[in-house]
Amino acid sequence: MKSFHPRLLKPGRYFMQGNIATAEAALIAGCRFYAGYPITPSNEIAEWMSRRLPEVGGVFIQMEDEIGSIVAVLGASAAGVKAMTATSGPGFSLMMESVGLASMMEIPAVIVNVMRAGPSTGIPTLVGQGDIMQAKWGSHGDYEIIAYLPSSVQEVFDMTIKAFNMAEKYRVLTIVLSDQVIGHMIGKLVVPDYEEIEIIDRELPDVPPEKLVYPFDNSRLIPPMPIAGAGYRVNYDSLTHDERGYPSVDRDVSFRLVSRLVRKIRENEKAIAEWEEYYTDDADILLVAYGCTARSAKEVVKKLRRENIRIGLFRPKTAWPFPWWRMNELSKRVSKIVVAEINMGQMLHLVREYSARDVEIVHVPYAPGYMPPPSYIENIVRGVYGA
Amino acid sequence: MILRIRIGGLGGHGILLAGRVLGTAAIYAGYDAIMTVAYSPEQRGGWSKADLVISDSEIDYPYIDEADILIVTTQEMFEREFKSLVNNGYLIYESSLVKPSQTSLNVRSIGIPAISLAEKTVKRRIAMNMVLVGGVTALSKIIDPKHVEEAIRSTVRKGTEEMNVKAMYAGYDYVRQLLY
């Protein structure tokens, strides 16, 4: 059985801020290193970690910027410590180069992006959902990441633990796409008994350090990870590398490596992707929403169902991998799809890509720095429905 | 059942702490609760506001634009937020800091001398927010003071639990005597 540090948040019921729940979840997941640079609206995570990490035997560093932060996180993880950083849009943009680096070196790490209104420095204190596409496509080249979309304090807690688990399991960078509303909201949190919380640690080589280990062994989809500093011969390179980690321009080496970086997630997408459905069984109109926006969308479904309007909600809980097969199935059963998000059209592209050809897709663009109130979505749905 | 509580006052009055205590008590009582907060940019002396929603079913949209109970500890927040009170809503105000300049037939007002009650019972004026928490508890009828006591013990700084609990009961008793 795993041992849990006595100073971790105890099982029980809490009324807690989303960002603080994120930090406490990371500690329970085993995170013992945080490097970050202050940015609103993610600051409570860093503030809380700076106080709490030393209490559980971890290390907190405030770095010179976001670029240094993510690279320090990757270094700590390469040395065997679960590590994270938290940021918001502008800092996330600065981290993009190292999103590719983490993917190439297959170093598990977690970035929490508490999304705010953009573009650029936008409105620091207000909400946005404009980083959905950047999370997947922000760095160059072919790679895969995992990204969660929490809708509540409970979910940002659960998903942060899961983000560490998935990062460790797949040797991949995992992103929690929280947002300002979820991060700053104070809500109900139930911490279950520790025995009920699944904690996954990376697979280590099953041979002693003096034996030869291939950290990028292509015969395995997810090769065991030798820890730097534990005596193994470890070479991490951002260049295309062979199974030992040495740079190579060989066409087979390149194709095998890049294929594996992508396949390890794509071949497991059905095990990784998550979503919630609400009244989709007999729905004729399908609302698609996520994060804080899904809270308003759910209220709209509840209200219109009382008027016997056949509406349902599809809420992706992972943006990446996107549950495209379920999107496709649902799109064949409904006549209209309404996509609501706090941007000018991002998940809209995924919905369009995977929906049946003959379904009508309506987008609710929204970018004032606030989450759309239920009435805003309701009016658009009524217009679409003709009621 | 849904209960919307808006608390407004001065930074330093313990507005957010009062909201956290009430929200925690609601969670302990088995309800769903969500609090959103806002404050002015001043580091000191600015206004502070906590909006708390308590419901026996899952709360979706977290924000409120009207309140069933409004608690104010400054004249500024009274003037600003009085209009957000619903018909048949309750206004609770700290009676030495706020003089209601307007009223409505449909609003029931309760002035609580929270600062002097805090001074009298625990010799600490700072506990006036807990006196008001006690007052809301007596008024709301859905939150048990035992849960509020438990919430105070788990929320406030170590060593101040007894003082805060006592102040809360002072407010609770004061409003109960007014009402019943």
ipTM metric: 0.96
Alpha carbon B150 to its chain's center: 16
Q: Helix A66-78 and helix A89-105: axis angle, to 10°?
A: 30
Q: How far is A296 from chain B (nearest CA, A)?
A: 5
B60 with A186: Cβ contact below 8 A: no
A373 with B34: Cβ contact below 8 A: no
B27 with A186: Cβ contact below 8 A: no
Whether A154 and chain B come into contact, CB under 8 Å, resolves to no
Q: Taking 70 as the threshold, does the pLDDT of residue B75 lie above it?
A: yes
Q: How far is A336 from chain B (nearest CA, A)?
A: 23
The Cα–Cα gap between A259 and A49 comes to 36
Q: What is the pLDDT of residue B102?
A: 79
CATH number of A276-385: 3.40.50.920
For residue range A314-331, list pLDDT tens digits in order.
999 999 999 999 999 999
Among the four given CATH numbers 3.40.50.1100, 3.40.50.970, 3.40.190.10, 3.70.10.10, the one describing domain A12-196 = 3.40.50.970
DSSP A241: B
Q: Taking 80 as the threshold, does the pLDDT of residue B103 lie above it?
A: no
Q: Go through A166-203 and write b for each residue having 16 or more CB atoms within 10 A of its CB, e for each that does not.
A: bbbbbbbbbbbbbbbbbbbbbbbbebeeeeebeebebe
Domains A12-196 and A276-385 share a fold: yes
Token reading at A155: 């979910």
Whether B17 and chain A come into contact, CB under 8 Å, resolves to no
Beta strand A360-364 with A336-340 is: parallel
Domains of chain A, residue spans = 12-196, 276-385
Structural domains of chain B in order of their starting residue, each with its CATH number: 2-179 (3.40.920.10)
Alpha carbon A25 to its chain's center: 14
Q: What is the pLDDT of residue B118?
A: 98
Chain A positions touching B28 (Cβ under 8 A) are 13
B60 with A181: Cβ contact below 8 A: no
Q: What is the pLDDT of residue A386?
A: 82
For residue range B120-131, list pLDDT tens digits in order.
999 999 999 999
pLDDT band, residue A3 (cuts 50/70/90): confident
Q: How far is B52 from chain A (nearest CA, A)?
A: 9
Element (H, E) at A375: helix A374-385
Among B173, B64, B57, B41, which residue's Cα sits nearest to residue B112?
Answer: B173
